[in-house]
Amino acid sequence: MKRSSAQSGTTDSEQGEKRSRRPSLMEELEGSQAAIDAVDRDCCRELIKVQRRFDSQKRPLYEARALLLRRIPKFWLQVFTGHPLVLVTEVEFRAFQYLADFTVDDNIDDLGSYSVSLTFSSGNPMFPERELLKKVKFNKLEQPYDDDDDATESLSVTIEARTVSWTKEALSLMKSSSS
């Protein structure tokens, strides 16, 4: 049975005041989601710490494996050209003939930054550099993009890559393939 305001002893304006003092359902949901997001952020931080610990244990194993892979002729060329989702251009194909090592260093900081290194043997006709390195660094922003949302952690990304000194042969191939 439904009770009217008069039956409960409160006026309609008193009930309206009580409702306005209570957080709305949306505010309660947002608060709940913010708490979940905070736990997720803590989880991510802990996962990266654990991952970094095990990555350091795997590093010597990767180095030993890399020595074995170097004994397989043109191993990395086969990996990249044989992958169904990787398209290799003519210039890349020629450079990959000299690819001796491919290394990814994950989680180099607590935000998950990483670097990718390609090491080439001498004689590469596409460029003289022996190592190409790309670093992807995640940085916490001092001022988040969304001031109203305390639950999200805003990050920016800085990418550093070494400049490639393409040879005339490589530039000619690139020009002819784009025509």
Q: What is the pLDDT of residues 39-53, one digit of tens each?
A: 998 998 899 889 989
Taken in order 66, 71, 73, 79, is the CA torsion positive or negative? negative
The rounded mean pLDDT for the chain is 86
Tell me, what DSSP letter sits at residue 22?
Answer: S
Query: Going by C-beta distance under 8 Å and a sequence separation of 6 or more, which residues neighbour residue 111?
Result: 48, 137, 138, 139, 140, 155
| pLDDT at position 151 | 42
For residue 74, give the nearest of 49, 102, 98, 50 by alpha carbon: 98
Instruction: Give me 137's structure tokens.
Output: 């660094």
**How far apart are alpha carbons 7 and 1 in whole angstroms?**
12
Distance of CA 134 to the CA centre of its chain: 13
Note the pLDDT tens digit of each residue in 143-176: 655 555 544 568 899 999 999 999 999 999 998 8
Which of 124, 118, 119 is CA-nearest to residue 167?
124
Judge contact between 101 and 76, C-beta under 8 A.
Answer: yes
Q: How far is CA 87 from the centre of its chain?
A: 22
Contact assessment for residue 79 and residue 106, using Cβ atoms and an 8 Å cutoff: no
pTM over the 0.85 mark: no
Rounded CA separation 151/31 (Å):
9
CATH architecture of 12-178: 2-Layer Sandwich (3.30)
Task: Say whether pLDDT at 65 is over 50.
Answer: yes
Which region among 3-7, 32-36, 121-125, 166-170 has the lowest average model confidence (pLDDT)? Answer: 3-7
More confident residue, 107 or 170: 170
